[in-house]
Amino acid sequence: MRYASKIAVPLVASLFIVTSLAAIRAESPQTGLVAKQCLRCHADYSQESGIVAGSFVKRSRKARTIQVKVGAETYMVKYDESTELNLPAELAPKVPIKIDLRSDREDLWASALWTMPPIEIPKEQLATTEDIEALVTGQRDQDYLLVDSRPKLRYHEGHIPTSVSIPFTTMHTKRSELPEDKDRLIIFYCGGNHCTLSPMASQMVEQWGYTNVKVYHDGAPGWKKGGNILLTTGTYLTERKGNYVLIDTRGAEQAKQGFIPGATAIALEDLSGLKGEFPLDREAPIILYSSDTDLQLLKPAVGTIRSWGYKKVSVLEQGFQGWLDSGREAARGEPATEIVYDPKPLPGEISTGKFARIIEENPEDTLILDVRSPDEVAAGALPAAMNIPLDELEMRLNEIPKDKTVVAHCATGMRAEMAYNILKKAGFEARFYNDTIDIVGKQVYLGTTVELAEDTADLEAIAETDLEVSTPDSELCARMIRHGQTAFERRRYREAKQLFWKAILADPTSKLAWRSYDMAVVFALAERAEDDPSCIGAPDVPVTEPDGQATGLFSKEDEGC
């Protein structure tokens, strides 16, 4: 049985409710009431009179009124049977809404109103991996601009060849970086199907008059999944300061003449036989470089390392020569020949475990800030979270309390990182969750760690479930290790031991699984002895490893002790 690589956290906090509204007042319908954030994608609203555009607050069917928030104020708009209502049966708070006002009334009275639909990309505007491959490799002779809409650091970490970085949050200030020819093909991509940065960017440039706009919705993950290479920049190496494994594939002899500081020299032909030398952490960024950007030369090695379960394998853009050409210094002498990986979190990054505890405990000194779009929030949200879409954040900072630590989240971590940078710049104490989050009903799934349920993790059920693995599965092994780590942190050592054993069954070559299991064995015995002192007795059943080798440990009832 395979488990979803996510963590479910109970929703225990009360729903966030807007309890204080600004004065609800009438306004002349000749004056357009438009929230600034609406103008980001709908610049034409500034030319319209007799409209209200903002976010939905509340609807009274009996009184036939709609409350709409525009900036810091809330307005009440009336409607009747003649009003054109383009509304769903149930309307979630903060969904974007536009209202056309009747010209024959002095107060706010709607002639038509509708919510803004979620961004949907027409099929003919979706670019495929094959499309991008044809453009990048030159198989398709077409002038194009490929835009990475993610935060700058994500671009530097790994981007599609030929792409340029224009983060979505800076689009409105970087129109000059777009082509003058508005018929030129522009393709936006971001962090995959769960990321809305590229669809929002495409919608924005269409508002600016560009006619040939596409979205590569599979994004960087889809490009990588298709067996293609992502490029890492020298800027990433400089800013991340060693939170990666950098391999000089030219080999030690050539590297002696000069290499990038921090690199490990391993000749390209030797890589395939050194799986055991790589970090146990399959999330470790692995970056290969040669003399220049020779993707065909390095592609087989990238494929090999990915086949070992490493998820972040890339090639240094322009290689060693590009490093020198940028004015950066090279190291001299004997390069390292053994890999050492000692990662440190990004500034402001919060771990999955800490974020899970914040969700569960809802501490008074912490605010969870959801920076997803209204349609994402309508599909499911953390009850205790405040929602301010990323593209509205800078204009709504006054709504966020400054006496709390703000923890931003989105769907993938990318918009959350952008929000963190905005918040820090504005003087807030801020953190961000740098992983995936899905909210389904009353279950919240975080990243690639453990699964929690109700008040405590349902780890016992996972530990007792049969595991069927025909070939080594490093990803499943990693999940079981993380399940076990959570059980261990909760001092449920027998369950931790069972989960670590399942990790071994998933991948008997995992040294981390064996070490974790060995650690849990001792604690599991102590836990069982507290419950039943008679379990400590003469050795009875020897415990063996999967290959039949005895561990030297014994148990009365196969407790792994």
Among residues 41, 190, 195, 410, the one annotated as catalytic is 410
**Is 190 a known active-site residue?**
no
- 3-state class (DSSP) for residue 87: coil
Distance of CA 397 to the CA centre of its chain: 23
CA angle at 274 for the pair 314 and 510, rounded to the nearest 5°: 95
DSSP state of 373: -
The whole-angstrom separation of Cα 392 and Cα 530 is 55
Rounded Cα gap, residues 292 and 230, in angstroms: 15
One-character DSSP codes across 436-457:
-EEEETTEEEETTS---BTTB-
Rounded Cα–Cα distance for residues 536 and 491 (Å):
20
- Strand blocks (E) in 131-184: 144-148, 164-165
Q: Is 87 left (phi over 0), alpha (psi -120 to 50) or beta?
A: beta
3-state SS assignment for residue 166: coil
Under a CB-based contact definition with an 8 Å cutoff, are residues 153 and 236 in contact? yes
Euclidean distance between CA atoms 2 and 209, whole angstroms: 48
What Cα–Cα distance (Å) separates residue 246 from each residue in 237, 264, 309, 373?
9, 6, 17, 37
**Which of 245, 185, 193, 196 has its CA nearest to residue 220?**
193
Q: Which residues lie across from 290 on neighbouring strands?
A: none
Q: Which two tokens stand for residue 503?
A: 């990790």
The DSSP symbol for 127 reads: P
Encoded tokens for 310: 């490493």
Tell the burial category of 171 from Cβ atoms under 10 Å away from its Cβ (0-12, 13-18, 19+). Answer: buried
DSSP class per residue in 488-515: HHTT-HHHHHHHHHHHHHH-TT-HHHHH
Written as one string, the DSSP assignment of 200-244 is HHHHHHHHTT--SEEEETTHHHHHHHTTPPPEE-HHHHHHHTTSS
Contact 295, 235 (CB under 8 A): no
Q: Is the dihedral of CA 277, 279, 283, 284 positive or negative?
A: negative
Question: Residue 472 and residue 481: Cα distance in Å, rounded?
Answer: 14
Query: Which DSSP string do the residues of 268-297 spell out, in sequence order?
Result: GGGGGG-GGGS-S-TTS-EEEE-SS--HHH
Distance of CA 343 to the CA centre of its chain: 18
Give the Cα-Cα-Cα angle 425, 431, 435 (nearest 5 degrees).
Answer: 120
- What contacts 151, CB < 8 A, 6 or more positions away? 167, 414, 417, 418, 421
Catalytic positions are 410
